[in-house]
Chains A and B, each alone.
Chain A
Amino acid sequence: MIKGKFIDNLPKIYGIYTGGFLGFIILMAIAEGAGMSAKMIGIFFVAFTVFIYALIGYLSRTLQVDAYYVAGRQVPTVFNGMATAADWMSGASFVAMAGGIYFKGYGYMALLVGWTGGYVLVASLLAPYLRKFGCYTVPDFIGTRYGGNLARLSAVIVLTVASFTYVTAQINATGTIASVALDIPFNIAVYVGLASILMCSMLGGMRAVTWTQVAQYIVLIIAYLIPVFWISNKIGAGFFPHFMLADEVARIAELEGQFGFVKNSASDLATVPKGLAGITKAHSDVNTTPWKFISLAVCMMAGTASLPHVMMRYFTTPSVKAARRSVGWSLFFIFLLYSSAPMLATLSKLSLMDPNLPTGIIGKSIADVQAIDWYQNWNQANLMFVSDFNGNGTLELNEFFMGGKAVVLATPEVAGLPYVISGLVAAGGMAAAMSTADGLVLAISNALSHDIYYKIINPKAETAKRLIVARVLLVIIGFAGATIAALEIQGILGSVIWAFDFAMSGLFFPLVLGVWWKRANAQGAVAGMLLGLASGTAYLVWVRNGGAGFWGVTQLTFGIVGSLVSLISMIVVSLLTKAPDSATQKMVDEVRIPSGKTVLGKQH
């Protein structure tokens, strides 16, 4: 059926794969009709998809350095776009974002703008130039452009701090889904998630991660869009929700006015399980302080352009031109999901709130709500809670609480869709979290194995040894991430936002100025990275411990402080010290044109 090279047959292979997956969904639907239990459907969905990813990971195993680090630089534009979209859309996008919008409304939609607008910066400021450079990792660029092990080491430090913060959140997400779908305790589920992640990346490095990410994108986009369209049609909101939910958005505002936002007392709130939240903000009303929205969007955009696991996806394209176009495709594939998240939040909210819908629970008696099947399931998982604070026997808007991550996962059940859809959504969330975790773990371990071990400690190491070191580090980092994830220090969305701020504090200006300012030198870059990271972290610690902060910068936007310090120290120190030598200047000139050889050789 398939002749010739794998790369030439990609559309056919993934076409068959998509058809197979749709067939699997139908099969599960038939099984549900025949009486298969909800639990079994969930297990089948998660286990089957994870098995497929692991199989792809195994088939992509490699013993070559450039296949391991940059997938042999032969990933076609559109497929790299899909892989980047999966790499990018994490548990935070899939599981948590619609939840954030659900609870906080417009304010949280800054994430939608920030997490897409950043790609304009990636395409215009960085990706094509870094591709021309021919590096394996982001610190590889910093180390070669500025010269010296100190610059390389500083870049590895920033990369590790940012990516590690991010990866714990993703392992947390895989753990949450695995624990709900497979019905096992969270702190064991975390390691089940980890095992699946490692199976995809260990044998084939970037090559394996690329082809599993494409497969994961297909699963996650199907899993996100089907419920949105289905619910919209079911409640008669419109056949194409993205263009037809205006009435529903208006209806939510009307209901919000009717129910009112009653503020709960502190003693009442103390009885609500940790991590659950109620609806306290209007759905589509804008905040009166635009800065809050804008500062969060700015941090997410600059963070996007500094996160190494995204940047390194553009090292895998065949050419500079392909890298540029690939950024456009990435954003297109991301757009498909992001433009649907507010629609899902709207539909989910309306399903619960509208007394005219059979699924509406606000205004019903508390005893009735507590008797609903899905309520009992999610309450048991500690992700849903109701309590009769005012003692009137009916459920008020301020008496209903839900975990942010439950909004996407529970909505199909709440809206009364068959359980097969819930299983599908669980598989989608798993795909989103796994694909990002894979990219991140690989980014960290590649930086440590290539930049620290090979470039600094043992430049004479032979290929086999380099790849063994890379794999050992991959496993160690995965375990460290899972151990910290099991502690649950910060929610999924919070950790992810921090990761962006860390990356922005330390890497944004050193990367951008490396291409766009020839005068930038090693001393300046080191000062920029280390002082930026240090000041951002200091600000975060200060605000977390009750510090007042300034300029309205919160613990979610500390990257603004970090990156400003980074920019200023980088310029000042660069100008105070010697200009880069002519070889470096020539190298920058070379990077600025697409034609000719890459700065670093094919194998280095």
Chain B
Amino acid sequence: MSKQEQHWEKTRNLLFITLAIWFVFSIGIFFFATEMNASSIKPFGYPLTYWFTCQGSLGIFVILIFWFAGRQEKIDEEFGFTEREDD
């Protein structure tokens, strides 16, 4: 496998992990909205589903993007595909 193919395979795997986390917190948990809201876990005292929609999921997305960017930069570095600063 060429260097470029390996790079793309790693990139694709990172995408799948990122999208899996994204799916859980943007779609997955909301199938269980009623159950979650009734649960005794109450972040800052808010009902759980309410908290996820107004803070939890949003915050997780922010962190997820920065984490993704960091991982992708590492992959690019590993295969020498990082941009030169003067580009």
Q: Which residues of A come within 8 Å of B, CB atoms?
A: 106, 109-110, 112-114, 116-117, 119-121, 123-125, 128, 242-247, 249-250, 284-288, 290, 293-294, 297-298, 301, 319-321, 324-325, 327-328, 331-332, 335, 338-339, 341-343, 589, 592-595
The docked-state distance in angstroms from the alpha carbon of A433 to that of B27 is 29
In the complex, how many angstroms separate the beta carbon of B19 from the nearest chain A beta carbon?
7
Number of interface residues of B (CB under 8 A): 48
By the criterion CB–CB under 8 Å, are B76 and A593 in contact? yes
Contact B83 A285 (CB under 8 A): no
- Per the bound structure, the CA–CA distance linking A246 and B14 in Å amounts to 37
Instruction: Tell me which residues across on chain B come within 8 A of A120, comparing CB atoms.
Output: 18-19, 22, 26, 61, 64-65, 68
Interface residues of B in 31-49 (CB under 8 A from A): 31-34, 37, 42, 44-47, 49
Determine whether the beta carbon of A286 is less than 8 Å from that of B34.
yes
B83 touches A249 (CB 8 A): no
The distance in angstroms between the C-alpha atoms of A125 and B59, with both chains bound, is 20
The interface centre, meaning the residue of A117, A120, A246, A335 with most chain B CB atoms within 10 A of its CB, is A120
A-B contact pairs, 11 of them (CB 8 A): A114-B26, A120-B61, A242-B55, A246-B44, A249-B50, A290-B32, A321-B82, A324-B73, A331-B62, A342-B50, A595-B84
Interchain CB contact (< 8 A) of A301 among B26, B49, B62, B66: B26
Residues of B within 8 A of A343 (CB): 54
Q: Is A332 in contact with B62, judged by CB distance below 8 angstroms?
A: yes
Q: Give B7 Cβ to nearest chain A Cβ, in Å.
A: 7
A112–B69 touching, CB < 8 Å: no
| Docked complex Cα distance between A134 and B58 (Å) | 30
| Complex CA distance for A128 and B15, rounded to whole angstroms | 13
Q: A120-B64, A125-B15, A290-B33 are in contact. Are A321 and B83 (CB under 8 A)?
A: yes
Residues from chain A with a CB closer than 8 A to the CB of B22 are 117, 120-121, 124
CA of A324 to CA of B14 in the docked complex: distance in angstroms? 14
Which residues in B have their C-beta under 8 angstroms from that of A321?
69, 73, 76, 82-83
Question: Chain B nearest CB: distance from A300 CB in Å?
Answer: 10
For the complex formed, measure the closest distance between the CB of B12 and the CB atoms of chain A, giving whole angstroms.
Answer: 8
Q: Could you tell me if B44 and A243 are in contact, using CB atoms closer than 8 angstroms?
A: yes
Contact partners of A301 in chain B: CB under 8 A: 26
Closest chain A CB from B22 CB (angstroms): 4
Could you tell me which B residues sit within 8 Å of A by CB distance?
Answer: 4, 7-8, 11, 14-15, 18-19, 22, 25-27, 30-34, 37, 42, 44-47, 49-50, 53-55, 57-59, 61-62, 64-66, 68-69, 72-73, 76, 79-84, 87
The CA-CA distance from A123 to B87 in the complex, in Å, is 21
| Chain A residues, CB < 8 A from B65 | 119-120, 123, 327-328, 331
Contact present for B26 and A113 (CB under 8 Å)? yes
Residue of B nearest to A326 (CB): B69
Contacts of A335 in B (CB 8 A): 58-59, 61-62
Do A246 and B15 touch (CB < 8 A)?
A: no
When distances are taken between beta carbons in the complex, the residues of chain B under 8 Å from A327 are 65, 69
Question: What is the CA–CA distance of A449 and B7 in the complex, to the nearest angstrom?
Answer: 37
Contact B76 A594 (CB under 8 A): yes
Q: Report Cα–Cα, A82/B4, bound state, in Å.
A: 34
Q: How far is the CA of A99 from the CA of B21 in the complex (A)?
A: 30
Give chain B nearest CB distance to A163 CB in angstroms. 24
Known A-B contacts A120-B65, A321-B73; the reply to A595 vs B82 at CB < 8 A is yes
By a CB distance below 8 angstroms, the chain A residues around B27 are 294, 297-298
Check A247–B45 contact: CB distance below 8 A. Answer: yes
Partner of A288, one of B34, B64, B73: B34
The one of B8, B19, B49, B59 that contacts A286, using a Cβ cutoff of 8 Å: B49
Most chain A CB neighbours (cut-off 10 Å) among B34, B47, B79: B47
Cβ-defined contact, A244 with B44, below 8 A: yes
Q: Which residue on chain A has the smallest CB distance to residue B15?
A: A124
Q: State the CA gap A243–B44 with chains docked (Å).
A: 6
A594 and B69 CA atoms in complex are apart in Å by: 12
Note all chain A residues with C-beta closer than 8 A to B18.
120, 124
Q: Are B81 and A595 in contact (CB under 8 A)?
A: yes
Q: Are A116 and B61 in contact (CB under 8 A)?
A: yes
> CB-nearest residue of chain B relative to A341?
B54
**Residues of A close to B55: CB separation below 8 A:** 242, 339
CA distance A325 to B72 in the complex (A): 11
Nearest CB in chain B: distance from A113 CB, A:
5
